[in-house]
Every structure is written in structure tokens, then in C-alpha cells.
Amino acid sequence: MDFLKINNLKFKYASYDESYIPEGNVLDDVSLNINEGEIITLCGPTGCGKSTLLKLLKKEIAPQGMQSGDIIFCGKNLSELSPLEQAKDIALLFQNPEDQIVTDKVWHEIAFGLENLGIKNAEMENRIAEIIAFFRLESISKSDTATLSGGQKQLLVLASLLAMSPKLLLLDEPISALDPENAESFISTLKRLHKQLGITIIIAEHKVSYVAPISDKMAVMDKGRIVCFDTPNNAMNVYERLLPPIVPVESKMPKPADSEPAVSIKNAYFRYSKKEKDVLENLSADFKKGTCYSIFGCNAAGKSTLLNLISGLLKVQEGKISWGVKKPKIAYIPQNVELMFLSDTVRGELINSGYSKDNIPDYTKDLNLSSSPFDLSGGEKQLLALAKISLLTPDILLLDEPSKGMDTNLERIMFRELNRFTENGTCTIMSTHDLHFARTVADMCSIMSMGKLTGFLDTEAFFKSNKLYSI
């Protein structure tokens, strides 16, 4: 008997809003057989239906719409499962850990699901202790959830799902919001979990390189259909063919060596409070017009702080930052792009930032204009943020992790737009973990460490000279 069997599943969203009627099926004839104890990766370009498929497996939060076909879980039709069984046996992890935390203490978060099931206190105590030990949360078990880092939050959410000992674990883009360090530790926890519990896991994720090594099988989806369901190696080939071919971006314009500086920083020092250590320590750098700079470095190296200082949101405490023009136009796309949104529809956002109704940037035309900007995928949000600052023609453009949550398609649009900015004389400075992205788009690269920037090198030279930072 199959553990999970999906037969000819079709799905079409209901519309809640008259101005937007979704066309076509989001899922079309999806069939999958999954055995107990397998790890399955679902991948495919943005909008292929992988998230919808996951949500349909969890009845209580399944989206509204027309559905046909069967989902059979442990020999029972999913719709016949009692709410209690649903809650206990199938666990779903959403993309953003911040939104899934319900309580203010770590131990209480783990207890939350158990409390809902009405389990006896002694049994709860036992399960909580087990989970805390397994996830190594002892040192933070009594902390406030608000004090945890992003990676710890994602781990906590996973832990609190597992406290309910589910049979099937569904993960919806669990690592796309995490940086490489946290993504790696999340994956290794998953691996350990699978080894010890033998739990069945389905992961929808576009950062395939992280999840493929631990998967038993991979399902590639495109336009609501499953185009391939095979071993990770074979499926990867199909997946790569599905992506638009990698065309080298038009060769970068040779930069005039002596273009004017847009920003120069001299011997800058900065720390957040008296008792803390310096984040910037005697940092000096020059950033020229019409050039794209990329800054690497691990978490908490001070990259975001540096961008904040250049934008003027923070002020240096010693040293000096001088801008090329007196009142430079500075555009800043922060790591959390949602900080830029002000309106409740995508259309409203575009009109707010100066576009007229029929003159919106071509790359935003595919977005659902009447949906909320918060309903967009991570990559689409980045594009919308870019559109919002495009009309400004800024002197300095600051980007914090611009390729976050982007699939290859969207990345390509980002390359094109950033190049356009640079050609128009904008000085672009970005901080990123994404080496591929930086290599394609940046002219100069540097690493931030111990409060300083290493000397900027030409991108090619940088990747040649660095052993660890190389592709």
C-alpha cells in the first residue's frame, strides 16, 4: 500500500475579488506515488503550482477553489480524515518562520501543538523534553522567541511541528529565506531527523542544490503539471532544461578608470551601543559612478550596517562619509523588501511610485496587479521593489541580498535592470551571499570582515585570486 497517493489532481483557485479571475488550472492532472520514509523534492519555476500542491495536502488550510481527483493518505481519502488526525499526522512548515511563531517563549511554542491536542500534562512534559534535546534547544528553551535569529526561528518552528510526531512533513520553501550558513544547518538537521525518525518529507524548494543531495526522488513541475518524477540526478537534468538557457549578459561596458566618486568613506568607525564591539573599524573605501560593487562576507560581518551608513539612515561616529554630489538621490532596497511597500495592491504600489496606469515596467506586467504586494513570491517582491525605485534614477543604489528568493528567470530580469542603472551612471553597491549573481552583475568585488573591506578587485580577478570565494 502506498503511503501517499495522488491521482489526477486538478485545481483551480476561486476568485475572491471580481477584478481578477484566475485563468486555467493551477494544478493539472497531477499524479504522484510516495512511499513511507522517502524525502521528495518538488521543484519548478515560480508559479508552477508546487506551493498549491503542498497546501492541498493539508485540508484545513487548503486554498478555496475547484478541486478534482483523489489524495489518498495511508489508505484513506484525505477528505475522510478527522480534523484531529489531520492535525496530528500531517505537518506543514511555511516559508516565513517569523509568521508561524505563535507564542512568546520557546518552550511554549513547542508545547502549542500539544496543548491543542489536549494531551495530559505529564505526556506533554515528556515530548517537550525530547524535542528540546533532539534540536539542542536547551540553552534557549526559556528565551523569548523575539530574541532568536532567523535560523533559530526556522529551527524552532520545525521543532514545534515535530513535537506533534507527524507521519508526513511538508516543507514549503523552507530555506529560501535563509542565508547559506543557516540553510546548511537546517538541511543537516533535516537529514538527522530523517535518519532517526524515518519520517516522510516533501520539500517544495527552488534552491535545488541544497535539497537534491538529501532527496530520494525529485518531482519537477511546470505550469501545473509534473513533467518528471525520478532520481535527483535525472530530474536535475530535466529541471535545468526547463530553465531558460543561460545567455551571457551583454558584455559589460569597459568602465572609464577615472570616473568621479559617488561615495567615499574615510576611516569610519561605528558601533550600535557603548557596550558593543565596533561593527565598522577604520573602514575606508571609494565607490565610483557607473560601477557596480558587490560586498561578500558572513552573517553579522556588518554589511547591512555599511549600507545603512551609506544611505544616511545611520551616522558614522568617527571618520567621514562624503557623497559626490551635495544632495545625492539614494535608493535603498533593504533585505526585507516589504519595508518598502505602502499600498494594499501591487497596482497601488506602482502608481504611488510615479507610474501611470498603462506605463508600468514590462517586468511587472506578469504580476497580478490587484493582489496584495505581500502575496507575491520572494523574488517577485524584489522586482516590485526595483520597479518602485526605477523612476528615481538614483545616484546611489544600495541593495541588500537582491537575489533573495529569486529563481533563474527572475534573476535574469534583475541582471538586465541593474545593468541599465549602471549604464546610466548609477553607483550600485550590493551585499550578497549569491556568488553566481554577483559574478554576472558586479564590476568590483570585496569581502567585509573584522569591520573592514578588503581592497576592491575587478570581478574576474577577484574570483581568480580567491580560493574559497570561487565558483
Partner 1 sequence: MIFEKYYILISLFLIAGSLAIVFSRLDKRHTGVRRITLIAVMTALSIVGRFIFASLPAFKPVSAIIILTGIYLGSEAGFLCGCLSAFLSNFYFGQGPWTPFQMVALGLIGLFAGIIFSKRRFKRSSFRMIVICIYGLICGIFYSLFLDTWTMLWTYGSFDLKGYLAVISAAIPYTVLYSLSNVLFLIILDIPFGKRLGRIITKYRI
Partner 2 sequence: MIDRLHPLSILIYFLSASLIPAFSRNPVLHTLCLITGFLMLFTWADAGKILKRVPVFLLFFLIISLFNPFFYHNGNTVLFYVAGRRFSLEALLFGADSALIVIGVSVWFISLSHYMTGDKVLLLFGVLSTKLATIVSLIMRIIPHYASYINAYRKQQKLMGIYGEGTFLERLRAEAKIFAGFLTWSLEHSMTTADSMTSRGYGVAKRKSYRIYRIRQIDILIMITSVIFILLLGLSLIRGTFETNYYPVIVMQPQGREAILSESVYIIYSLFLTVKHLIKVNYGFFENKQSKI
Would you tell me which residues interact with partner 2 (CB under 8 A)?
A: 58, 60-61, 83-84, 86-88, 91-92, 94, 96, 98-105, 107-108, 111-121, 124-125, 128, 144-146, 157, 160-161, 164, 311-313, 330-332, 334, 336, 338-344, 372, 374-375, 388-389
Judged by beta carbon, residue 82 or residue 196, the one nearer partner 1 is 82
Least distance to partner 2, CB of residue 69, Å: 22
Closer to partner 2 by Cβ: residue 249 or 342: 342
108, interface contact from partner 2, partner 1, none, CB < 5-8 Å by kind: partner 2
Binds 64: which of partner 2, partner 1, none (CB < 5-8 Å by kind): partner 1
Binding to partner 1, residues 337-356 (CB under 8 A)? 344
Under the criterion CB under 8 A, does residue 17 sit at the interface with partner 1?
Answer: yes
Q: Which does 296 bind (CB under 5 to 8 A by kind): partner 2, partner 1, none?
A: none
Least distance between partner 1 and beta carbon 107 (Å): 20
Distance CA 276, CA 348 (A): 41
Q: Does 18 bind partner 1 (CB under 8 A)?
A: no
CB 442 within 8 A of CB 251: no
All three cell numbers of 89? 499526522
Q: Which does 254 bind (CB under 5 to 8 A by kind): partner 1, partner 2, none?
A: none
Q: Which of partner 2, partner 1, none interacts with 118 (beta carbon under 5 to 8 A by kind)?
A: partner 2
In the complex with partner 1, which residue's Cβ is closer, 16 or 450?
16
115 binds partner 1 (CB under 8 A): no
Q: Which is nearer to partner 2, 207 or 388 (CB)?
A: 388
Total number of residues that touch partner 1 (CB under 8 A): 5
Strand partners, 203: 41, 171
Binding interface with partner 1 (CB under 8 A): 16-17, 64, 344, 372
